[in-house]
Amino acid sequence: MQSILLGRVLVLLWVSTAWADVLVQPDFDAKKFSGLWYVVAMASDCKVFLDKKDHLLMSTSTVAAEAGGNLSVHMAFPWGDGCNRVDAEFLKVGMEGHFRVPDMGYLDLRIANTDYSSFAVVYIYKELEGALSTMVQLYSRTQEASPQAVKAFQDFYPTVGLPDDMVAMLPKSDACSPGGAEAP
């Protein structure tokens, strides 16, 4: 018991060190960040992601700002001909734009860079089945990311140690559009 607790404390300490140098968008404004985003690219060292990355499709996140700084987020992930829908609560940790998402195993999520109107670079540190991984997502207001958005993503993921071969540009899919097929 004690060693399990100690292990947890050590992991938390290590994790806070690893997080220390990832910055959050200054003066993050949750209201301006609200609305529909397409998740158009991802980089991650998660083994599950790396195994699947050539089959992943563009997903969407619909963000609603709540009083107090939490975000309520509805995600839709196309898979095959179906669509998986997930509701998650981004819980504010300290400053605006810095969250954790227990529902998704995200120990830390930071909106690292956004102009609100076209793109956002999202940093995620997560745990899946005991394995820790780093992920970066590029959010775009349109299905075609602007060159400026792609550049912001490409400038960022190397700074958290992710190499080019851990990146997936996600193709469009109609599975989650209104009227698209739903998972049972």
> Applying CB under 6 A, which part among 50-58, 62-70, 117-125, 169-177 lies near ligand NAG?
62-70
Cβ closer to ligand NAG: 92 or 141?
Answer: 92
Can residue 146 be called a binding residue for ligand NAG (CB under 6 A)? no
Task: Give which of 115, 148, 119 is closest to 136, Cα–Cα.
Answer: 119
**How many CB atoms are located within 10 Å of the residue 119 CB?**
24
Cβ closer to ligand NAG: 5 or 67?
Answer: 67
Q: Identify the burial level of 60 via C-beta atoms within 10 angstroms of its C-beta, where 0-12 means exposed, 13-18 middle and 19 or more buried.
A: buried
Cβ closer to ligand NAG: 105 or 180?
Answer: 105
Residues 78-107 that bind ligand NAG (CB under 6 A): 91-92
Cβ closer to ligand NAG: 77 or 90?
Answer: 90
Beta-carbon contacts of 34 under 8 Å, excluding residues fewer than 6 positions away, are 63, 64, 65, 71
Beta-carbon contacts of 146 under 8 Å, excluding residues fewer than 6 positions away, are 118, 119, 140
Can residue 68 be called a binding residue for ligand NAG (CB under 6 A)? yes
CA–CA separation, 80 and 155 (whole Å): 31
CB of 66 to ligand NAG, least distance (A): 7
* Sites of contact with ligand NAG (CB under 6 A): 68-70, 91-92
